[in-house]
C-alpha cells in the first residue's frame, strides 16, 4: 500500500545542459558529437542582433568543417506557416542537425523544424493532432540569447495565429533539445524591457509549477531556487544589466524550464494567451500580470509548502508575496493592472471567453469562470 506521505512521481528531462560564460565556443565540439564532419547544418538565428554583435561570424568560423545554412526569417510569435517555410528550407538543405541561437521565438521555431524535417505534413496538422509524431527529429542544439523562454530545455514550441486569434502548442517527449548551451554572454545585449519580460516569464512559470497539482519534490526544489534567484536578481538584471545578475537569471531560466517540463505552467499562461492575441501584450508581461491574483487564490491549498515559498521570495505571508511580485514588476517597468495595459472592464468577457479552461485544471483550488471574472475585475 502506498503511504500517503510518500510522494509517487516520474521525472524526465533528457537535455544535456552546458552552462557558463564563453561556453558558446564549445558549439563545434557538440555538433561533432552528433553528426559527422562535412554534414549539413541548419542554423536558425534572429534577424540582426547576432550579426551586428559579430557573434554570428564567430559561430560560422567555428563551424567551418560543416556545411552551414543560415535561416533568419524568424517572426516574433512564430506562426505555423513560418515554421512550415523554415522546415521546407531545412529539408531542401539536406540538414543533418538543427541549431538555434536566439530568443524564444527562434528556439521554438527551430525546435519545431527539427522534428518536422523528418515527418510529412504541416505544423498545424501536428498541433491540432490530425497527425502524430512517430519518431525523434533531427539532432537539435539550442543556445538562448534571453533569460526567460526556457525553450532551450523544454519539449514544446508555442505557435501563434495572430490574425485568427489562435494559439497552438506543438510538443511531446521527442522534441526535447539534445543539448542546451547556456552562455550568459549572449544575454548581455538584452534591453531593460526584454530582460524584464523574459525574466518575468520564467519567474511566473516557476511559481505556477510550484502550486501545480502535478508538482513533485524535484520540481519543487528547482522552482524554489528559481524563485529565489529571480526575486534577488531580476530587477538588477533588467535595470543594471551586469554580468552577475544576467548570468544568475540565465541559469534560473533553464532550471525553470527543466522543472516545468514535469510540472507545467498553467493559469497565468492561460490568461496570457488572450492578452497577447487580442491586445498584443508581450508574453512575459501577459503571463506575469495575473501571478499575484492566482497566488492569492492558490496559497491556502498549498499551506504545507508556503513557508518555503515565502522564504524564497523574502516575505512572511501571501500578501507580502503579492506585494513583492508587484514591486518587482513595477521596478522592471512592467504593468501591474489591466487598465495599465489599456484594457477596460468590458474586455474581461473577451479574456474569460478565450481562456483555455483546461489550463486552469492544475490549480490546487479549482477556479470557475465567475471566480476568474471576479479576480480580473479586481485588477483594474
Does 262 fall in a domain?
yes
Instruction: Check whether residue 49 and residue 196 sit in a common domain.
Output: no
Chain position carrying cell 522564504: 311
Domain encompassing residue 82: 16-187
Cα dihedral: 228, 200, 290, 224 (round 10): -20
Same domain, 163 and 285: no
In which band, very low, low, confident or very high, does the pLDDT at 2 lie, cut at 50, 70 and 90?
very low
Answer whether residue 31 is part of any domain. yes
Report the C-alpha gap between 226 and 232 in whole angstroms: 10
Residues 79 and 121 in one domain: yes
Q: Rounded distance, CA 246 to CA 359, Å?
A: 30
Residues 175 and 206 grouped into a single domain:
no
Q: Full-prediction pTM beyond 0.85?
A: yes
Answer yes or no: do 291 and 157 share one domain. no
Q: Which residues lie across from 98 on neighbouring strands?
A: 42, 140
Q: Is residue 6 situated within a structural domain? A: no
- Whether residues 141 and 197 fall in one domain: no
| Residue at a domain's end among 120, 155, 187 | 187
Q: Which residues of 26-40 are buried (b: 16+ CB within 10 A; e: fewer)?
A: ebbebbeebbeeebe
State how far the Cα of 230 lies from the Cα of 227, in Å rounded to an integer.
5
pLDDT for res 7:
86
At which of 147, 163, 187 does a domain end? 187
Residue 8 lies in a domain: no
pLDDT in tens, 138-191: 999 999 999 999 999 999 999 999 999 999 999 999 999 999 999 999 999 999
Q: Are residues 150 and 287 in the same domain?
A: no
Domain for residue 7, yes or no?
Answer: no
DSSP structure class, residue 363: S
Q: What is the pLDDT of residues 344-372, one digit of tens each?
A: 999 999 999 999 999 999 999 999 999 99
How many Cα atoms are found within 13 Å in the side-chain-facing hemisphere of 320?
12
Quick check: is 2 in a domain?
Answer: no
Query: Per residue in 32-89, pLDDT tens?
Result: 999 999 999 999 998 888 988 999 999 999 999 999 999 999 999 999 999 999 999 9
Asked whether residue 4 is assigned to any structural domain, the reply reads no
CATH number at residue 224: 1.20.1090.10
Q: Are residues 118 and 59 in the same domain?
A: yes
Taking the C-alpha atoms of residue 167 and residue 183, their distance in angstroms, rounded to an integer, is 30
Same domain, yes or no: 200 and 183: no
| Residue that terminates a domain, selected from 123, 154, 187 | 187
The count of structural domains within the chain is: 2
The CATH number of residue 53's host domain is 3.40.50.1970
pLDDT tens sequence across 100-144: 999 999 999 999 999 999 999 999 999 999 999 999 999 999 999
Amino acid at each position: 500500500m502506498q503511504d500517503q506521505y510518500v510522494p509517487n512521481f516520474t521525472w524526465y528531462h533528457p537535455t544535456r545542459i552546458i552552462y557558463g560564460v564563453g561556453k558558446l565556443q564549445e558549439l563545434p565540439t557538440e555538433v561533432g558529437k552528433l553528426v559527422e564532419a562535412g554534414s549539413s547544418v541548419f542554423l536558425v538565428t534572429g534577424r540582426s542582433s547576432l550579426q551586428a554583435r559579430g557573434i554570428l561570424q564567430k559561430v560560422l568560423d567555428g563551424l567551418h568543417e560543416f556545411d552551414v545554412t543560415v535561416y533568419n526569417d524568424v517572426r516574433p510569435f512564430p506562426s505555423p506557416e513560418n515554421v512550415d517555410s523554415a522546415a521546407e528550407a531545412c529539408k531542401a538543405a539536406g540538414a543533418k542537425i538543427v541549431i538555434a541561437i536566439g530568443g524564444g521565438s527562434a528556439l521554438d521555431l527551430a525546435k519545431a523544424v527539427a522534428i518536422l524535417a523528418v515527418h510529412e505534413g504541416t505544423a498545424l496538422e501536428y498541433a491540432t493532432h490530425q497527425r502524430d509524431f512517430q519518431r525523434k527529429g533531427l539532432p537539435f542544439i539550442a543556445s538562448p540569447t534571453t533569460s526567460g523562454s526556457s525553450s532551450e530545455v523544454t519539449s514544446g514550441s508555442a505557435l501563434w495565429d495572430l490574425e485568427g486569434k489562435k494559439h497552438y502548442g506543438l510538443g511531446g517527449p521527442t522534441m526535447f533539445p539534445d543539448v542546451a548551451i547556456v552562455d550568459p554572454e549572449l544575454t548581455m545585449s538584452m534591453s531593460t524591457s526584454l530582460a524584464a519580460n523574459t525574466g518575468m516569464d520564467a519567474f511566473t512559470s516557476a511559481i505556477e509549477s510550484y502550486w501545480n497539482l502535478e508538482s513533485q519534490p524535484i520540481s519543487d526544489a528547482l522552482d524554489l531556487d528559481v524563485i529565489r534567484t529571480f526575486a534577488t536578481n531580476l530587477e538588477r538584471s533588467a535595470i543594471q544589466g551586469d554580468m552577475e545578475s544576467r548570468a544568475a537569471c540565465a541559469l534560473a531560466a533553464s532550471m525553470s524550464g527543466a522543472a516545468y517540463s514535469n510540472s507545467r505552467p498553467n493559469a497565468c499562461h492561460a490568461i496570457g494567451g488572450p492578452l497577447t492575441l487580442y491586445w498584443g501584450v508581450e508574453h512575459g508581461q501577459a503571463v506575469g500580470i495575473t501571478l499575484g491574483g492566482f497566488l492569492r487564490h492558490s496559497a491556502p491549498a498549498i499551506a504545507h509548502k508556503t513557508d518555503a515559498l515565502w522564504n524564497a521570495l523574502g516575505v512572511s505571508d501571501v500578501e507580502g508575496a503579492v506585494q513583492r511580485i508587484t514591486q518587482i514588476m513595477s521596478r522592471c517597468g512592467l504593468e501591474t493592472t489591466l487598465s495599465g495595459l489599456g484594457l477596460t472592464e468590458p474586455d474581461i468577457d473577451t479574456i474569460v471567453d478565450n481562456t483555455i479552461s483546461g489550463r486552469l485544471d492544475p490549480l490546487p483550488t479549482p477556479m470557475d469562470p465567475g471566480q476568474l471574472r471576479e479576480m480580473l475585475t479586481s485588477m483594474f
